[in-house]
Structure 1
Amino acid sequence: MIHHIDHPLISAELTCIREPDCPNFEFRQRVRRIASLMVPAVTADLGRTLVPCQTPLELTSGDKVARPIILVPILRAGLGFLDGFLDLIPQAAVAHIGLARNEKTLEPEAYYLKHPTPLGESDLILLDPMLATGGSAVHAVTTLLEAGARSIRFACLLAAPEGIAAFQSSHPQVPIYTAAIDRCLNEKGYILPGLGDAGDRLFGTI
């Protein structure tokens, strides 16, 4: 399922970061704000549990998030999305997954995976700014499922229709949350109109 988080504050931030003259420090700040603005939608259907709550006046009850949350940025661009989520979910644990392309098969492979255990008792939020061809996100979900994860959702800044189709074909049970759905991919696999290489722009390596 695809969830397009259509919000005027998010749209305004996206307009700014699409501009090529947006400096990298400002790009990082705006991506962080977009991530924070996406959190309520991404987490809206998390399970809750009722717990006792002692106010200054009386004993009542209130909600707590039922299961631990693990944020999983895909290295390296996913790191730019991480702090915005941590701003609103400071109790979340953080796992990391690194992917690289196998030069023989041209398919992504995980070269690094570090996570709390057990994954099956937590709700995972996979983070990567761009869903272009879908290869990295698909492989990341597959790797996490093989490691024992049961509940995964994917959050991104921009998604291309080609990436959405590939992701949903491989993992139809994993919801996608995106700030924008762009037009298409170009011949090099970049999202159009897009914003360029998110990792390079986040870390000033253009």
Structure 2
Amino acid sequence: MMEDKRWKGVYSFEDSPFIMEVLTELRDKETDSISFRKGLVKLGRYMGYELTKTMEVEKIKVETPLEETEGVVVKDRRNVVIITVLRAAIPLMEGLIKVLEHARVGIISASRGKAPKFEIEMNYVKVPQVKPEDTVIITDPMIATGSTLIKVIEEVKKYGSPKRLIVLGVLAAPEGISRIKEAHPEVEIFVTKIDRELNEKGYILPGLGDAGDRAFGAPIKVSTLPQMHTLE
């Protein structure tokens, strides 16, 4: 895990060969949906382990079958709220919760419209009450323009003021990180890699495509569905 000097509180995992190998598989256009989802789960789990390195630890005494010794408890691991941004973040959450098994989970359905306006539509919000001792982790694989996450963060803040507010993703564009940090400077951002830039359609380059579509399949447009006729 390494901090990016361009912003305060922004970290990537570009120093991890294992994570870069998983990311390489996700980038490959030939990777199928099952393998793509499994890759996201791997990343969520690994980043969960890494996040515990930044959490408060308490030393305790423990009795082994032979004698007393010193151990540790990761206190913050007991007070976590994971916010899953549908739908691409579901596998990331699955990986995270394997490490942060005490976490309470919230769900927000939010989608970004087309360029150039990138209007955000938020259809469903179910977030548990946030306590002052909580670490809130918002999971969204792609931090592109930052528009969706800015709205999600604003919504999450309505449920309380946490000890830490973290955005966790797979890839980020510099433009999106800058926008999020400008709107919410206290937010910490953890991603596997910070890519080069956005294109005119708001996609990350070199990126990996639409994470939701690649994980779960592209949605079918209503106009392409077969016509149903009733018998009279």
What is the TM-score of this pair, normalised by structure 1?
A: 0.90
Superposition deviation, residue 100 in structure 1: 4.2
Alignment of structure 1 residues 16-35 onto 2, 5 Å: 16-35=25-44
- Report the structure number with the largest CA radius of gyration: 2
Is residue 146 from structure 1 mapped to residue 158 from structure 2 by the alignment? yes
Tell me how far 1:61 sits from its aligned partner. Answer: 4.2
- Report matched runs for 1:129-140 at 5 Å: 129-140=141-152
Query: Once superposed, what is the RMSD of the aligned Cα atoms?
Result: 2.1
1:105-138 deviation line (CA, Å, top 9, x unaligned): 8542543222333433311111000000001111
Question: Per the alignment, in what secondary structure is the counterpart of residue 146 of structure 1?
Answer: helix
| CA deviation profile, 1:144-166 (whole Å, cap 9, x unmatched) | 11210322111100000110110
C-alpha distance in structure 2 between counterparts of 1:118 and 1:74, whole Å:
17
Residue 101 (structure 2) pairs with residue 93 (structure 1): no
Between the two proteins, the alignment pairs up a number of residues equal to 205
Matched, 1:73 2:81: no
Which of 82, 94, 100 is equivalent to 1:83? 94
Deviates more, 1:68-77 or 1:41-50: 41-50
1:172 corresponds to: 185
Match of 2:201 among 175, 188, 192: 188
Q: Which moved more, 1:71-80 or 1:185-194?
A: 71-80
The higher-RCO structure (CA 8 Å, 6+ apart) is 1
Q: Per the alignment, do residues 102 and 163 of structure 1 end up closer, same or farther by CA in structure 2, a change over 3 Å counting?
A: closer
**1:110–1:143 CA contact under 8 A, matched in 2:** no
Partners of 1:112 and 1:55 lie apart in 2 by: 48
Structure 1 residue aligned with 2:226: none
Are the counterparts in 1 of residues 52 and 74 from structure 2 also a CA contact under 8 Å? no
Q: Deviations over 1:7-45 (max 9, x none)?
A: 101111111111111100011111111222222333321
- Aligned to 1:114, which of 126, 135, 138? 126
Residues 118 and 4 from structure 1, CA distance in 2 versus in 1: closer, same or farther, beyond 3 angstroms? closer
3-state secondary structure, aligned to 1:173: coil
Task: Tell me, in whole angstroms, the C-alpha distance in 1 between the residues paired with 2:95 and 2:82.
Answer: 11
The equivalent residue for 2:139 is 127
Q: Distance in 1 between matches of 2:128 and 2:74?
A: 18
1:74-104: per-residue Cα shift (whole Å, max 9, x none)? 111111211111222222221112224589x
Q: Does 1:14 pair with 2:27?
A: no
Over the matched positions of the two proteins, sequence identity in percent amounts to 35
Whole-angstrom distance in 1 between the partners of 2:40 and 2:30? 15
Q: What is the aligned partner in structure 1 of residue 56 from structure 2?
A: 47
Gaps of 5+ in 2: 1-8, 220-232
Unmatched tracts of structure 1, length 5 or more: none
